[in-house]
Structure 1
């Protein structure tokens, strides 16, 4: 319990909580819409924004957020308006982001930037400013989902049917792409670019084992994500290894335990 005497540890706990809420909300949409590959493309494209930030001397996360949002819109625009297959559009922006990031990082004057906390995550580096931004994001996402819940659910499962019901599908799709990009960038400190895709898919998959109700999946996946973050945080602190790897390891372990529990419950009921 003496760990809670340290401000950086308390910041990590609070950051984990609000990041789990944000990723829980966005992740259910990603899994429901089968946008996992798109989220992976946006995640890796964000590296280009980091490179731009390092090279021009601006906040790397700010530039990464802008670059990721533009990449998300670009993927959607190319696949919808330009006749490009979605997987091909994802590959273009995925590769572009990584290429730009690598080139500009190595061209950055002075000492080479420390990329480890961005690539692999370091939850202990979360600041009070990061927590405040995550709180704002979680509140905006919650409010947006409350207002447009029925429309989001309709778009998540059957876009064509939603159009026939006069649901503003384009507004929902592009707004959610923006939220996905923002959530990804603000969660980089937790698990890093390399593993971030798992943070917005694995807890949701685990929640989906026990419920198909959209709102219940959001709540359960947020809880699972927070448990994984806290467990990974403790393990990484005591073993002195990157926190991101342990967070994802715990989340995947919880998924397999959930599969076993569901199978056992199924056999017991039979």
Structure 2
């Protein structure tokens, strides 16, 4: 830990990595809470894995993979949202097909790219230590967009997440805000790609919010705690992986996963103890 802290003071690339992790944690704390409460992890997974098509196309045609990822993520979010709203009986199968086809298209583009480097591998598995400055600026802009939209339409999102039918009765355009929520998930996926990679993105999107949900039931508090937890896992994963030269992305996820397991066990026994205490109380 001491070695990591001294390197953090003197190494600009490590400072940039830490900033990227904190920016990604902000997005994952806010949007991950929506994903966990709405129980749409599978939909988020479909969006995340279809992003590879955009990244592969970007590499093949020679433009920024993150821009390709953002375009593919938003297109797949709208497509998955339309399927969910109109094809509910075949929803899982169709989303699974989009998930698989997105990855297949991406792999085909990558295979046809002459002499592609390991840079794409860093997007797949994450390499937070190699985040360039322009990508950090890009992540900051995406965070501002996320916070602005959530702040403007917080009540509408709240209504759509907890009770779609009631929201319709109140005149809320449910389909529009549902699709907008999926687009925000798409943006968050792109934010997290550099930190843990495309393969592990869903874990960091959902685990901090799931842990927060064990202890608080207010959506605002869940977002705040999930953001703090995501930041802690990112900083902790960076610190743990630095000295032994381990991959930072998997280390961050192992830390988050371990914290979730411990939290789930503690929460389970806490609820059981409360139940026993309520039964033993005299009427």
What TM-score, normalized to structure 2?
0.89
1:102 aligns with 2:107: yes
Aligned to 1:3: 7
Deviation at 1:244, TM superposition (A): 0.9
Q: How many residue pairs are counted as aligned between the two chains?
A: 270
Is the counterpart of residue 135 in structure 1 residue 130 in structure 2? no
CA distance in 1, matches of 2:88, 2:226: 35
**CA displacement at 1:82 relative to structure 2:** 5.1
Q: Which runs of 5+ in 1 are unaligned?
A: none
1:139 shift after superposition: 2.3
Q: Secondary structure at the match of 2:243?
A: helix
Aligned to 2:168: 163
User: Greater CA radius of gyration, 1 or 2?
Assistant: 2
Q: Judge conservation of contact 2:27–2:191 (CA < 8 Å) in 1.
A: no
Distance 1:262 1:50, change over 3 A: same
Compute the displacement of 1:183 (Å).
Answer: 1.3
Quote the residue 2:60 is aligned against.
55
The answer on 1:230 being equivalent to 2:241 is no
Q: Deviations over 1:181-224 (max 9, x none)?
A: 11101210100111111011111110000001000000000000
Q: Which moved more, 1:214-223 or 1:52-61?
A: 52-61
Matched, 1:120 2:104: no
**Who is 1:21 aligned against?**
26
Residue 149 of structure 2 corresponds to which residue in structure 1? 144
Rounded Cα–Cα distance in structure 1 between residues aligned with 2:7 and 2:168:
52
User: How far is 1:84 from its partner?
Assistant: 5.9
1:63-89 deviation digits (Å, cap 9, x = unpaired): 111111111111112332356622122
Shift of 1:265: 5.1
Q: Contact 1:61–1:186 (CA<8 Å) still a contact in 2?
A: no
Specify whether residues 114 and 144 from structure 1 end up closer, same or farther in structure 2 by C-alpha distance, changes over 3 A only. closer
1:233 CA displacement: 0.8
Report how far residue 226 of structure 1 moved.
Answer: 0.5
Shift of 1:260: 4.1
